[in-house]
Structure 1
Amino acid sequence: MRLILYSKPGCHLCEGLEEKLAQIHSFSFDLEVRDITTRADWVEAYQYEVPVLCQNNNGKETQIPRPSPRASVSQLEQLLQKYLKTHDSE
């Protein structure tokens, strides 16, 4: 499974989410962090929304609902498991 995190330099919410994702070990995924400042289309799409977490399924990106910045690692893990289980079966 591949997850994509759209972020920008200096964004403490982005850094916090990335740190929490790194602590999830109950299921495996590849995390690609994309700096939105490197592409104009990403800036336009996400400049007011980062961090944005997406699942990449065979080239199709699906945005995952944004977790609360206050969510613990286990809460984030539960949210991802629930979301990915629901959307993998579609």
Structure 2
Amino acid sequence: MLPECQLFGTLGCHLCEVAEALLMPFVEHGLLVELIDIAEHEHWVEEYGLRIPVLRRSDTGAELNWPFEAEQIVEFLRST
């Protein structure tokens, strides 16, 4: 079973759009990804502002920082 994830980004972030596109095949196969706009909370801006996009697993809190490719996403989702 695939873990639920969050993708931290913000509007107008080109790299965030690229990350979303990379995740689409995984979403089509059942991965649940919640898009989080860091602009909604100041502490998210402080934590993620220079690192977005960041993929975070909801179950473990593990984070995959940009840049990442499909192969790295697969390994990230398999890790416990």
TM over 0.5: yes
Gapped regions of structure 2 (runs ≥ 5): none
Letter in structure 2 aligned against 1:56: S
Letter in structure 1 aligned against 2:66: R
Gapped regions of structure 1 (runs ≥ 5): none
Tell me, yes or no, if structure 1 residue 82 matches structure 2 residue 75.
yes
Letter in structure 2 aligned against 1:29: L
Aligned match of 1:67 = 67
**Aligned-residue RMSD, C-alpha:** 1.9
Structure 2 CA distance, aligned partners of 1:54 and 1:36? 13
Structure 2 CA distance, aligned partners of 1:21 and 1:12? 14
- Normalising to structure 1: TM-score of the pair? 0.73
Aligned match of 1:32 = 34
Query: Pairwise mapping of residues 12-51 of structure 1 onto structure 2 (< 5 A)?
Result: 12-24=14-26, 27-51=29-53
Compute the displacement of 1:35 (Å): 0.2
Structure 2 CA distance, aligned partners of 1:25 and 1:43? 25
Question: Runs of 4+ in structure 1 displaced over 3 angstroms?
Answer: none
- Normalising to structure 2: TM-score of the pair? 0.81
Secondary structure, aligned partner of 2:76: helix
Compute the displacement of 1:61 (Å): 1.4
How many percent identity over aligned positions? 27
